[in-house]
Amino acid sequence: MLQRLPGHLNSRRPPLIPPAPLSAVRIGILSLIFAVALAASMRAQEVRFSGFGATGIRMYDRNPVAEFNQEYFYEGKLQADIRLSKKIDAQLDFRGDSDERTVVLREFSVKFDYFTYARIKLGNVKKPFSVEGLADRDEYIPVFDSHLHRRNEELGYAGRNVGLLVYYNANLEKRPELPFSWAAGVFKNNSYLTSAYARGSWHSGSWTTSLGYALLSRSHDDAVTTQGISADFGYRTPAFESQVEAMLIQDPDEQIRRRLLGQDDAVWSPGVRSLTAFRIPVDGDIVETVEPYLLLGWSAPDAETTEWHRLEIMAGVNVFVDDDVRLRLTADGLLTRDRYSDDYSTHGSVFSFEVFIRF
């Protein structure tokens, strides 16, 4: 498959002070990981570890007086897939990066496989709204998520929450009579946000067409209910991949602000994104494959004032020196025009180089 506004480009500012010595909390986390792995290996039928690591440099177009405009970073993931029985699997996903300088548990989930056309997953899992939101970091072609996806995550339409998900992934080789994938789930973010999602896909050879729907409900003082729809169309072969995705969502933050001002609070925010990539075999002594790609995006905070919008042009190349080792070069250009200026601003644009491995 094809997977943060300034300050959220999947990047974070480095600390102002040197990192502290290894704390008791970090030692405890590492001990917990070891204990979980040991216990799982003793009790489970099978435990499989996977993950990735990346390091490199990112250079931003932003004011160096207010924000760092260079970042030398590293990040990593360790995932344990645990087979508890023929019908029950569990997953632990640990992440760490150069900003937090610690390890966090990003996902725990357990999967029940009792039905042929429906699986049940419970835990802190991804919300099935858009195709980009379902892509894994180690499988996603660009280095960064698109601005459209990052904004959806900030508003609550993407990312992970604790929830119950029922889904089925099409298997055209085993079950060609059912070329459909589907997912539906209910998620909860403590007592503040409740959301429901539904997504369906139709597969025909190398083509995939999908539709998604999301319903979000915020409680407490600023209670608001919003919804969103998404649609995507993709084509994928071993040598070429292309997809187009469009969505229309309601902005809960803007609706609350307008309600307080006594204005019409029905705010719909449109957006569209495309991604095209070629895989060119080289078969050299060092380089195996070169994968250039181009991501284009457009989004507007309000469908009634589309003259204020953001354009995104992300171009890059992945150089495979091995199936699991890539050199990744990308430039993510953001062009923003808002109500305060008729000119486009490039604030938040970034150039990145990284070495990426997975195992």
The full DSSP string for 204-218 is: ETTEEEEEEEEEEEE
Task: Answer yes or no: is 11 within a domain.
Answer: no
pLDDT band at 24 (very low <50, low <70, confident <90, very high): very low
pLDDT interval class at 260 (50, 70, 90) = confident
- The answer to whether residue 12 sits within a structural domain is no
Inside any domain, residue 5: no
Any idea what DSSP says for residue 13? P
Q: Is residue 1 part of a domain?
A: no
Instruction: Establish if 19 belongs to a structural domain.
Output: no
The number of domains in the chain is 1
**pLDDT tens, position by position, 90-116:** 999 999 999 888 889 999 999 999 998
Is residue 3 one of the residues assigned to a domain? no
For residues 342 and 337, what is the distance between their CA atoms, to the nearest angstrom? 6
pLDDT exceeds cutoff 90 at 342 = no
What whole-number distance in Å separates Cα of residue 53 and Cα of residue 321? 15
pLDDT above 90 covers a percentage of the chain that reads 67
Domain residues for the domain of 352 are 24-358
CATH at 132: 2.40.160.10
Interatomic CA distance for residues 147 and 33, integer angstroms: 33
Average pLDDT of the chain, as a whole number: 87
For the segment 24-43, the average pLDDT, to the nearest whole number, is 51
pLDDT score of 23 more than 50: no
Q: Minimal CA–CA distance to 118: which of 177, 184, 162?
A: 184
**Residue 12 pLDDT more than 60?**
no
Over the stretch 262-274, which tens digit does the pLDDT of each residue have? 887 788 999 999 9
**Using an 8 Å Cβ cutoff, are 317 and 334 in contact?**
no
Region of residue 141 (left: phi > 0; alpha: psi -120 to 50; beta: else): alpha
Question: For 118-127, 186-195, 302-311, which range has the lowest pLDDT when averaged over its residues?
Answer: 186-195
Torsion of CA 74, 334, 241, 228, to 10 degrees: 100
Query: Sign of torsion, CA 15 17 18 22?
Result: negative
- The pLDDT of residue 17 is above 60: no
